Amino acid sequence: MDILITGGAGFIGSSLVERLSREKNNITVVDNFHTGSEDNLRKFKNSIKIIKCSSGDCEKFEKSYDILFHQGIYSSSPMYKENPLLTARCIEDFLKLLEFARRYDIKIVWASTSSLYNGHDPPHKESMQVKVTDHYTEARYAMERMAELYNKLYGLSIIALRYFSVYGPNELSKKQYANLVTQFLLAMKNNEQPVIYGDGKQTRDFTYVTDVVEANILAARANIKFGIYNVGNGKETSINDMIGIINKKLAKAIKPKYIENKVTNYVARTMADTKKAEKELGFRSKISLEEGIQNLIDFYGN
């Protein structure tokens, strides 16, 4: 297959490249390297095509792709707090991709976010109302609505996946925007205290990146014209418990440093209800947090 992956040099995108490369696909990566890294693609640089540009620069793309995985979206709420104009940029790039896909009849699978559930108690279901909370979620919600519009108006095949707290290898280029699992693991390996904003009782549905990749592939293969699906582990783990697992795996006893959390509209708890994804996509998470943390320890070395 001919596959286009925006954000393909990033954390999740490069994991998609790795998986799809095993199946002898023709892969084109588009990335502006905002949080991506050529080092994430070093194993594949001779077998894939890399286009250095933003995801909306569609005039630089070929016209014969079978599937478009859109991962190249500014992916962290603090980015939008620093620059609210990213909201418009994400939507504009997405509209350009929708027009491109409509013109050449290309199915899109793309990265939405579990942050849309801010203000709701878990388990989080796709049917929940999206509340007004921040620029980041407004961008993704607008994109979901535009996706549905293009499906209704033009019959475009498009599936949105709401990711829950994804972690795994190849996050170093994200720096301060990396998942807390990765940030805390690397700090604790160096005997540094992880810094928690709040009391550490806040929870996340930590989801290993290979599970997210599998969800993307299942969505691409599904005979579904439009859908929005949760992609999570379906389990709720506190930040304190996550640090406890890292301590156990590293044979350490490092205590976190607690700082007052002054973030407005902070997400206190997340946990995916994955029944819809299980039923319609056949997706079910396979990697537990304990196994995922061990994978990360092995990846970065003891």
Kindly name the residue from 136, 150, 163, 229 that is annotated as catalytic: 136
pLDDT over threshold 70, residue 302: no
- Examine the residue annotation and report whether 229 is marked as an active-site residue of this protein: no
Question: What domains, with CATH codes, occur in the chain?
Answer: 2-166+208-233+270-285 (3.40.50.720)
Annotate 36-75 with DSSP letters as a single string.
--GGGGTTTTTTSEEEES-TT-GGGS-S--SEEEE--S--
pLDDT over threshold 70, residue 123: yes
Mean pLDDT of 94-107: 97
**Contact between residue 229 and residue 162 where contact means Cβ atoms under 8 Å apart:** yes
The tens digit of pLDDT for each residue in 194-248 reads 999 999 999 999 999 999 999 999 999 999 999 999 999 999 999 999 999 999 9
As a whole number of angstroms, the distance between CA 292 and CA 297 comes to 9
The tens digit of pLDDT for each residue in 240-294 reads 999 999 999 999 999 999 999 887 778 889 999 999 999 999 999 999 999 999 9
Q: With the CA atoms of 82, 85, 86 and 88 taken in that order, what torsion angle do they form, in degrees rounded to the nearest 10?
A: 160
Mean pLDDT of 83-110: 97
